[in-house]
Amino acid sequence: MSDSPKPLSPFKSALRFMKSFQVLAILTSLTGLAFLVMDGMIDGQWDLVTSGWNNVKIFLSETGPPNWSVLEARSYPTCEERYDVFCSIAYIGMLETIKIAFVSTVFGFIGAILLSSLAARNLSPVWLSVAIRILLAAMRSLPSLLWAILFVIVLGLGPLPGILAMTFYTIGYLGKLQYEAIEGMESAPLEASRATGMSRPEVFTNVVVPETSNHLLSQMMFMFEYNVRHGSVIGIVGAGGIGYYINNYLQFQMYDKVFSLLIIIFLVVVIIDFISMGVRSFVNEKGDVRRPSWLTVMLPGKKAAQIHHGIVAEDED
């Protein structure tokens, strides 16, 4: 019996060499297939792409630089606030969008967590979990825009149909993410608590929620960000928020103002992402690790390491 591993045959070595390119081969094949499908769909009219580019240039030249007058107070009603910006269209619209997103995320989260606890296979019997999954699928099969149209027809224009539309969609979407997170949790804590004779609600509140808190928080923050972005879309059908103003400006071809409102939405989404990062650091393991500061990122490696470790040493003292 020899100690060294058996050498591979030339055929097997060649196969192993080819295997190292398999990811590249799969990606190339998929891209090629996608191009073929697209070619069939546009009947080979690839010149549309080049002509479209000219339209983009015209659009950008007409849009021009963003028009920040959206941050100035509206001429009517008279502004009684200390700062003009609080009476501006951007502020009023964005605030209403954030309010709609907040309310629908909170209501949606509560609805979703109740339903997802019943839909998770490791917590509920099959018949119940299947029934709840069908309900959740039905709720998210209609996008929030269609829910909004439905509620605008039923309840009329304003923020209420927007809130209801986004709450319904949030329950459907968040419910799925939550029951998948619950099903993905380790079985040991569940088994340890079940063996002690805890009831299902006790297991859910005392074991499942703290164990999956990182995922639940992350999903809630993602949904809030998603609702802020979609709040601007559903406003277009009259369900309130900044989308209402974007729609108005689009109708009057005031693209420069649309541009500035889009920049504001982008900034709000970035801020929410940072808040989300901060909130999640309370419950995930990354919160335990000291990250290098911005200052040390800019410095050369040796100096950065010196400063970084110096800070650690001070803390330990």
Partner 1 sequence: MKQTLLDLKDLDVGYSQPLIKNINLTVQSGEVIAITGPSGVGKTTLLRTISGLVRPLKGAVELRVEKRGGLGYIPQKLGLIRHASVEHNIALGSISSSEKMQMFSRIRSAAVLGFILSLFLSFFQYPFGGALFFLCGPGILITSVLSQRLLHQQKQTIVWNAMKAVRLSDKQHEPVRRLSGGQQRRVATARTLAQSPSLIVADEFLSELDDANVTIVIEAMLNIIESGSSLIMVEHNLVRAKQLAHRIWTVENGTITEEVIEDE
Q: Applying CB under 8 A, which residues contact partner 1?
A: 186, 188-198, 202, 206-207, 210-211, 213-214, 283-285, 288
Q: Which of 107, 236, 238, 244 is nearest to 169 (CA)?
A: 107
Nearer to partner 1, 135 or 207 (CB): 207
Cβ neighbour number for residue 240 with a 10 Å cutoff? 23
- What is d(CA 251, CA 248) in angstroms, rounded to the nearest whole number? 5
- What is d(CA 207, CA 192) in angstroms, rounded to the nearest whole number? 10
Compute the least distance from the CB of residue 207 to partner 1, in Å: 6
Compute the least distance from the CB of residue 184 to partner 1, in Å: 14
Compute the least distance from the CB of residue 18 to partner 1, in Å: 37
Nearer to partner 1, 247 or 281 (CB): 281
Nearer to partner 1, 121 or 303 (CB): 121
Compute the least distance from the CB of residue 209 to partner 1, in Å: 9
Nearer to partner 1, 213 or 248 (CB): 213
CB-based contacts of 228-231 (< 8 A; 24+ apart in sequence): 228/97, 228/98, 228/101, 228/265, 228/268, 228/269, 228/272, 229/265, 229/269, 230/101, 230/144, 230/145, 230/166, 230/169, 231/97, 231/98, 231/100, 231/101, 231/162, 231/166
- What is d(CA 34, CA 26) in angstroms, rounded to the nearest whole number? 12
Compute the least distance from the CB of residue 218 to partner 1, in Å: 12
Could you tell me where the DSSP H helices lie in 20-80?
Answer: 22-41, 47-63
Compute the least distance from the CB of residue 191 to partner 1, in Å: 5
Q: Which of 211, 161, 214, 218 is nearest to 190 (CA)?
A: 211
Nearer to partner 1, 180 or 211 (CB): 211
Q: Is the dihedral of CA 269, 274, 275, 277 positive or negative?
A: positive
Compute the least distance from the CB of residue 167 to partner 1, in Å: 21
Nearer to partner 1, 88 or 214 (CB): 214
Q: Which of 105, 179, 95 is nearest to 144 (CA)?
A: 105
Are 140 and 118 in contact by the 8 Å Cβ rule? The answer is no
Nearer to partner 1, 280 or 308 (CB): 280
